[in-house]
A = this chain, B = another copy of it.
Amino acid sequence: MLEGTWYLEKHTENLLFLHKIKRHIYHGKTAYQKVDLVEIEAFGKALFLDGKIQSAQVDEFIYHEALVHPAMLTHPDPKSVIVLGGGEGATLREVLRYPVERAVMVDIDEQLVKLCEAYLPEWHEGAFYDERSELVFTDARGYLERSEETYDVVISDLTEPLEGGPSVMLFTREFYKTVYERLGEDGVLVVQSASADPFYNDFVRDVFVTLKEVFPVVKVYHAPMFSFQMDWAFTLASKGRDPESVAREEIQERISTFEGNLRFYTPDLHSALFKLPKFLLEVLPKGRVITDENPPVWLS
């Protein structure tokens, strides 16, 4: 039946999506963003922030496995991990599959995290209650700047920097220098980097070029995100470790204890994700360096 309630998502000015709604879960605003939690017929439970889909039940596993595992496995033995953003708790969930000692999650929007905790248990699967988890509700940049602790892996799971949005200053060269300082010797950073498509790829190329100013190893990889209606980019940066040099056997062994829980990532896929389409390879070097004085602004 066509009639009824639909969620209108403005993918761009020129492409609108209408998602048939099965169930309304929550509509409201936090101090930082408009939150819509709905169950949609096509993708199950879904979280929309300021009108943009952030995560959907049917394929959140692709995003979160693709975000976490390449970075965790590029580090030889991560014990201390920090997640920047990551409100739904699924990034934390994937991190905790490893024998880490400490997993910090810093999200500025406490109310959003509480909503996700209550309404999206399929995402966090109890990760918030793991004794290794530490939740901090503050600005991630200030937190890292004020801290002197170091981490093995830093995972940037932030929304794209829309004008006036909370994440604008978390994609700059200056911020990445702070991250570099907070990383241990074998440290690895991964940044969710928006679309990998042939026409709206400004963001990933700017992130790539900016990270190249700070880190010796920077590689972009990608994974298909059906609920985002596109191929998605991630950028991995390290002080020296090359993600493509990790042996297949090492990966196989390290994920063996939790391989049954994975639904997207495989040892064979690890290297394949880093093989990019030619059009993306060609544009990546053409990005501009993002600085505090010249932060990125994505128009919604």
A interface, CB within 8 angstroms of B: 1-10, 12-21, 23-24, 27, 34, 36, 38, 40-42, 48, 50-52, 58-59, 62, 196-199, 222, 224, 226, 229-231, 262-266, 268-269, 271-273, 275-279, 281
Q: Are B266 and A279 interface neighbours, CB within 8 A?
A: no
Given A58-B199, A222-B224, A281-B266: A17 in contact with B20 (beta carbons within 8 A): no
Q: How far is the CA of A230 from the CA of B224 in the complex (A)?
A: 7
Known interface pairs A226-B231, A269-B275, A277-B269; A15-B42 also in contact (CB < 8 Å)? yes
Separation of A202 and B217 alpha carbons in the complex (Å): 40
Chain B positions within 8 Å of A277 at CB level: 62, 224, 263-264, 266, 269
The docked-state distance in angstroms from the alpha carbon of A40 to that of B50 is 19
Task: Report how many copies the assembly holds.
Answer: 4
Question: Chain A: interface secondary structure?
Answer: mixed
- State the CA gap A277–B1 with chains docked (Å): 33
Contact between chains at A15 and B14 (CB < 8 Å): no
Minimal Cβ-Cβ distance residue in B for A24: B24
Structural contact, B18 and A8, CB atoms closer than 8 A? yes
7 shortest A-B CB distances, which residue pairs?
A3-B51, A14-B41, A224-B231, A272-B275, A272-B272, A14-B20, A229-B229
Chain B residues, CB < 8 A from A226: 197-199, 230-231
B2→A14 contact, CB < 8 A = no
Q: List 24 A-B contacts (CB under 8 A).
A: A1-B34, A3-B10, A3-B48, A3-B50, A3-B51, A3-B52, A5-B7, A5-B8, A5-B21, A5-B38, A12-B42, A13-B41, A15-B19, A15-B20, A17-B18, A58-B198, A59-B198, A62-B198, A197-B224, A222-B224, A262-B278, A264-B277, A264-B278, A272-B275
